[in-house]
């Protein structure tokens, strides 16, 4: 989500906030949002809608400019990639770099 936020701010010509808060847990993000009216966050729509239905969050009417979903390459911790998998991962990294 932070990569998506960075891309969206860049597309809008805005800098990243000086002290962004990053969490891997949507539940922790919601908890932080409840503690301060000055915070905003990007959440998956399905998660945000659940909390909005319960009156916990409000979804802001912001349209994202990015057309594609952000994906990461993941492997098993301590796992060793085969030569073919290593080549595939390298190819994905090269194609994902800005032109």
- Counting other chains too, the contacts that 63-71 makes at CB distance below 8 Å and 24 or more residues apart are 64/4, 64/8, 65/8, 65/11, 65/12, 66/4, 66/7, 66/8, 66/11, 70/1, 70/3, 70/4, 70/7
pLDDT (0 to 100) of residue 71: 57
pLDDT (0 to 100) of residue 69: 58
User: Domain boundaries in the chain?
Assistant: 2-70
pLDDT (0 to 100) of residue 22: 84
pLDDT (0 to 100) of residue 4: 80
For the whole model, what pTM was predicted? 0.58
User: Which residue ranges of the chain lie beneath pLDDT 70?
Assistant: 67-72, 96-99
User: Per residue in 80-90, pLDDT tens?
Assistant: 878 888 888 88
pLDDT (0 to 100) of residue 82: 83
pLDDT (0 to 100) of residue 53: 92
């Amino acid at each position: 989500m932070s990569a998506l936020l960075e891309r969206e701010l860049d597309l809008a010509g805005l800098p990243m906030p000086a002290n962004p808060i990053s969490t891997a847990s949507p539940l922790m993000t919601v908890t932080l949002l409840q503690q301060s009216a000055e915070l905003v966050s990007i959440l998956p729509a399905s998660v945000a809608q659940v909390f909005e239905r319960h009156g916990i969050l409000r979804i802001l009417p912001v349209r994202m400019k990015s057309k594609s979903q952000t994906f990461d390459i993941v492997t098993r911790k301590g796992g060793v990639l085969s030569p073919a998998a290593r080549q595939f991962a390298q190819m994905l990294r090269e194609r994902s770099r800005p032109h």
